[in-house]
Amino acid sequence: MSTGNHDTLVYRLAQMLVKLNQGEKLDPQDLADEFGVNLRTIQRDLNERFAYLPLEKTNGRYHLDPTFLGQLSTRDIERFASLAGIRGLFPSLTDDFLRDIFDTRIQAALLVKGHSYEVLAGKEHLFVTLEKAIVTRHHVSFDYQKEEGPKHYGKVAPFKLVNHKGIWYLAGRDVDKLKTFSFTKISDLRILDSQFDADPGVDKMLKEEDGIWLGEDKKEIVLKIAKEVAGYFKRRKLIANQVIEKELEDGGLIVSAKVGHANQVLPIVRYWIPHIRIISPEGLQAELEHELARYLDGSVARQGKEVRA
Q: How far is CA 226 from CA 63, 235, 288, in A?
A: 56, 15, 18
- What is the biggest distance separating any 2 CA atoms in the chain, rounded to whole angstroms? 79
- For residue 241, the model assigns a pLDDT of 78
CB 220 within 8 A of CB 280: yes
- Residue 273 φ then ψ, to 5°: -55, 135
Q: How far apart are CA 89 and CA 116, in angstroms?
A: 7
Helices (H), the chain: 3-21, 28-35, 39-44, 74-85, 95-100, 104-107, 124-136, 200-208, 227-235, 266-272, 284-308
Q: Produce one character per residue of 136-154: b if its CB has 16 or more CB atoms within 10 Å, e if not.
A: eebbbebebeeeeeeeebe
- For residue 173, the model assigns a pLDDT of 93
- For residue 96, the model assigns a pLDDT of 52
pTM as predicted: 0.48
- For residue 8, the model assigns a pLDDT of 74
> Which H helix or E strand runs over 190?
strand 186-195
Can you list the domains of the chain with their CATH numbers?
3-85 (1.10.10), 87-210 (no CATH), 219-299 (3.30.70)
The mean pLDDT values, 10 residues at a time, for the chain of 309 residues are 54 85 91 93 87 82 76 65 53 48 51 57 82 90 92 95 79 89 93 92 73 66 93 84 92 89 80 89 85 72 57
Q: What single string gives the DSSP state of each residue in 270-282?
A: HHHTTSEEEEEST
Cβ-Cβ contacts under 8 Å for 185 (sequence gap 6 or more): 144, 145, 146
Q: What single string gives the DSSP state of each residue in 85-105?
A: HTGGGSS---HHHHHHTTSHH
Whether the upstream peptide bond of residue 281 has omega within 30° of 0, thus cis, is yes
Q: How far apart are CA 184 and CA 134, in angstroms?
A: 17
